[in-house]
């Protein structure tokens, strides 16, 4: 009977060790994936900021629209969204404003401000100040006539 108890306890301990190892391994993979998403988001923020540096023409405008769409879609799955709940909303609203013919000129007239906001976001992607400023621009240019 003692042999069976020893055998059972040994199997149980080995199982717990394996489960612990798998748990740590899964957490490491999840953290690596989150780090990769966050790095991609920061790179896209930088590209978006740079898009506001060029002389505005049809190609540059489409590039801005594409970049803002990309950062808005990625923002929801970043760790920065956990720190600043308005991050995805403010970026999505900017995309909607840029995509609307009635407001795009008003938004683009504030390209310098937008570049500065994206500079803040590149430095600190969870910046509440930056998202507040984005929301303000959205409110003043898209949500008003």
- Mean predicted confidence (pLDDT) in 107-133: 91
Indicate if the pLDDT at residue 116 is higher than 80.
Answer: yes
CATH topology for 14-141 is 1.20.120
Where are the chain's structural domains? 14-141
Tell how many helices (H) and how many strands (E) occur in the chain.
7, 0
This prediction's pTM: 0.82
Q: Do 103 and 73 meet the contact criterion of CB atoms below 8 Å apart? A: no
What pLDDT is attached to residue 60? 83
Span 19-72, pLDDT tens digits: 999 999 999 999 999 999 999 999 999 999 998 887 777 788 888 899 999 999
Structure tokens at 64: 């801005």
What pLDDT is attached to residue 140? 83
């Amino acid at each position: 009977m003692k042999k069976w108890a020893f055998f059972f306890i040994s199997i149980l301990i080995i199982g717990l060790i394996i489960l612990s190892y798998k748990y740590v391994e899964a957490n490491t993979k999840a953290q690596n994936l989150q780090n990769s998403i966050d790095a991609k988001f920061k790179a896209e923020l930088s590209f978006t900021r740079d898009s506001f540096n060029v002389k505005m023409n049809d190609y540059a405008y489409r590039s801005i629209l594409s970049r803002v769409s990309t950062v808005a879609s990625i923002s929801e799955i970043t760790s920065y969204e956990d720190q600043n709940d308005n991050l995805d909303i403010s970026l999505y609203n900017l995309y909607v404003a840029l995509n609307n013919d009635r407001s795009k000129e008003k938004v683009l007239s504030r390209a310098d401000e937008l570049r500065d906001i994206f500079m803040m976001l590149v430095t600190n992607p969870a910046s509440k100040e930056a998202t507040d400023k984005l929301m303000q621009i959205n409110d003043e240019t898209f949500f008003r006539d």
